[in-house]
Amino acid sequence: MRAVIMNEPHEIHTGDWDTPRPGEGQVLVSVGAAGICAGDMYIYQGKNPYAVYPVVAGHEIAGQVVEVGAGVTGIEPGMRVVVEPFIGCGHCYPCRVGKSNCCANLRIIGVHMPGGYADYVTAPARNIHLIPDGLSTFDATFTEPVAIGVQACRRAEVGAEYVLILGCGPIGLALIEAARARGATVVATDVVESRLETARQLGAETLLANEALVETIMAQTHGEGAPVVIEATGNPRAMEQTVDLVAAGGRICIVGLVKRGTMINFPGLDFTRKEMTIVGSRASVSCFPEALELLASGHIHYPKVATRFDLWDAPNVFRRLNEHPDAVQKGVLVRESATN
Ligand SMILES: [Zn+2]
Ligand SMILES: [Zn+2]
């Protein structure tokens, strides 16, 4: 089959790759479209320590089932599906308590095993979710990023309340809509005006993240601070600021990633003085069905701000996005030859 292959960091080309066969309990999917995520850029840039080259990246995958392996029931050729990329070991403590997103031996389709930038991809049947009627294959590639938003909203127990989201990158945008779907009034911040513009299109009130941010949020919340603060910048200073921004008794949810070894400082007394809840949120677990429902319901407009590229043009697209990271809000690679 044809695939987009990264042989080593900063080397990307289209070429031949062995067509996978569905093993026992597995499903073979003909790729219709696959999103481009920061994680895919990290593999291209050599920043993902788990990627083993040569690698076929792509973990935001939608397509059509072409074949099922032995023992697979309920999934048939012709069904339109999305692939949930995270595979837990099922044995470690997080897997045993239903948090396989934090599995000690986590494997990810598109990182540890070949992903969706190819004609075909295989996945365990339990990682396959049917695309509801009326939801296009293109839009369905957003299930994974929207699921990250759903996971963070579950972790932060977001309801119909004031929610401050720091960062309007691809994940911040997914967060805005997941929170709004729960009735939240969303205020979103960023340092890049074009990203704020997109955030406004998705229904958030926006603020430029500047020196006056804490003061502005206090003024907006009658001096109380935000009931919920979700951090999606990965900037250590922004992470530290969450404690100043949150209301006493409120919740902080950290979604952004900092570099390994980066330390964050909080004033220790605030833990008891404010009694805020601080939770982390990693990728998603059991959130695909809710994300698919949200997308199908028409509540999510995120796919409309995405840019469509031809899958086989991926080498040029990756080179360009590497030089101009803000060239698009979100890119999706479409395999035009597929029957979408
Ligand atoms: Zn992703
Ligand atoms: Zn595990």
Domain extents in the chain? 2-142+306-334, 146-280
- Distances, alpha carbon 308 to alpha carbons 57, 79, 142, 210, 303, in Å: 17, 23, 13, 33, 10
Q: How confident is the model at residue 182 (pLDDT cuts 50, 70, 90)?
A: very high
Give residue 327's pLDDT.
Answer: 86
Tell me how far the alpha carbon of residue 36 lies from the centroid of ligand 2, in angstroms: 26
Mean pLDDT on 322-328 = 89
Tell me how far the alpha carbon of residue 284 lies from the centroid of ligand 2, in angstroms: 14
Give residue 44's pLDDT.
Answer: 97
Nearest CA to 36 out of 92, 117, 91 is that of 117
Give residue 337's pLDDT.
Answer: 81
The answer to whether residue 190 scores a pLDDT higher than 60 is yes
Four-residue CA torsion sign, 205, 291, 6, 328: negative
The answer to whether residue 199 scores a pLDDT higher than 60 is yes
Q: 3-state class of 87 per DSSP?
A: strand
Point out the ligand nearest to the CA of residue 101.
2
Give residue 7's pLDDT.
Answer: 96
| Segment 107-165, tens digit of pLDDT | 999 999 999 999 999 999 999 999 999 999 999 999 999 999 999 999 999 999 999 99
Tell me how far the alpha carbon of residue 185 lies from the centroid of ligand 2, in angstroms: 36
Point out the ligand nearest to the CA of residue 84.
1
Tell me how far the alpha carbon of residue 59 lies from the centroid of ligand 1, in angstroms: 6
The answer to whether residue 222 scores a pLDDT higher than 60 is yes
Q: State the Cα–Cα distance between residues 62 and 82, nearest whole angstrom.
A: 4
| Residue 277 neighbours by CB distance under 10 Å | 15
Point out the ligand nearest to the CA of residue 90.
2
Contact predicate 164/185, CB 8 Å: no
Tell me how far the alpha carbon of residue 258 lies from the centroid of ligand 2, in angstroms: 23
Q: How confident is the model at residue 340 (pLDDT cuts 50, 70, 90)?
A: low
The answer to whether residue 32 scores a pLDDT higher than 60 is yes
- CA angle in degrees (0–180, nearest 5) for 24-106-262: 165
Give residue 51's pLDDT.
Answer: 87
Mean pLDDT on 194-218 = 96
Give the total residue count for the chain: 340
Q: How confident is the model at residue 339 (pLDDT cuts 50, 70, 90)?
A: low
Share of the chain above pLDDT 90, in %: 93
Of 118-132, 211-225, 326-340, minimum mean pLDDT range: 326-340
Tell me how far the alpha carbon of residue 112 lies from the centroid of ligand 2, in angstroms: 15
The domain defined by 146-280 carries CATH number 3.40.50.720:
yes
Point out the ligand nearest to the CA of residue 146.
1
Q: State the Cα–Cα distance between residues 128 and 333, nearest whole angstrom.
A: 20
158 Cβ contact partners less than 8 Å away, ≥ 6 residues apart: 178, 179, 182, 184, 228
Share of the chain above pLDDT 70, in %: 99
| Residue 25 neighbours by CB distance under 10 Å | 13
Tell me how far the alpha carbon of residue 287 lies from the centroid of ligand 1, in angstroms: 14
Give residue 33's pLDDT.
Answer: 98
Q: How confident is the model at residue 259 (pLDDT cuts 50, 70, 90)?
A: confident
Span 2-142+306-334 CATH architecture: Alpha-Beta Complex (3.90)
